[in-house]
């Protein structure tokens, strides 16, 4: 082995499960889709750098998107650390939700009327901010 070779680790997410996340993703998917499941809920994902947090979230989003049961679940990726200077974090959070849903509508994955008029009334208010 060459002593001059630098060992670099990638922080790129994987689209395949090489870390044994399938069982957790299946369990969460079943829990979220259960008619007995009560919302709201929050899931925290913790781990060291490179331990697979982003891969887990990507695989979970894939799983939720591939199941087309009703009601449709739309995974929203929000990175709060991008808004550390934002006084009111709720504004970029709601805008991210709006952009994600709008993207689904634009791609024809869902229809606007299926979202509900209250969201669109509220999203119009957000555009003014």
pLDDT tens digits for the chain (129 residues)?
556 665 545 566 667 777 889 999 999 988 888 888 887 777 788 889 888 888 898 899 888 888 777 777 888 888 888 998 989 999 999 999 889 888 877 776 665 554 555 454 444 444 444
6: in domain: no
9: in domain: no
Query: And the tokens for 16?
Result: 């395949």
42: in domain: yes
Please say whether the beta carbons of 111 and 71 come within 8 A: no
pTM: 0.64
The pLDDT score that the predictor gives to residue 54 is 87
Print the domain residue range for 109. Answer: 76-129
The pLDDT score that the predictor gives to residue 27 is 92
The pLDDT score that the predictor gives to residue 90 is 92
The pLDDT score that the predictor gives to residue 92 is 93
DSSP code, position 124: H
4: in domain: no
Distances (CA, A) of 113 to 46, 77, 99, 105: 37, 23, 16, 10
Asked if residue 86 and residue 66 are part of one domain, the reply reads no
Domain count, the chain: 2
Please say whether the beta carbons of 60 and 75 come within 8 A: yes
104: in domain: yes
């Amino acid at each position: 082995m060459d002593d001059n070779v630098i060992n670099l680790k990638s922080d790129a997410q994987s689209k395949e499960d090489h870390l044994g996340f399938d069982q957790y993703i299946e369990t969460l998917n079943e829990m979220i889709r259960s008619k007995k499941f009560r919302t709201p809920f929050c899931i925290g994902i913790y781990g060291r750098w490179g331990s697979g947090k982003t891969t887990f979230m990507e695989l979970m989003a894939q799983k939720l998107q591939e199941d087309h049961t009703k009601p449709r679940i739309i995974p929203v990726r929000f990175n709060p650390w991008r808004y550390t200077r934002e006084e009111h974090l709720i504004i970029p959070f709601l805008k991210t939700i709006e952009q994600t849903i709008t993207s689904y509508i634009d791609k024809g994955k869902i229809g606007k009327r299926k979202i509900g008029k209250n969201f669109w009334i509220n999203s119009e208010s957000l555009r003014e901010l």
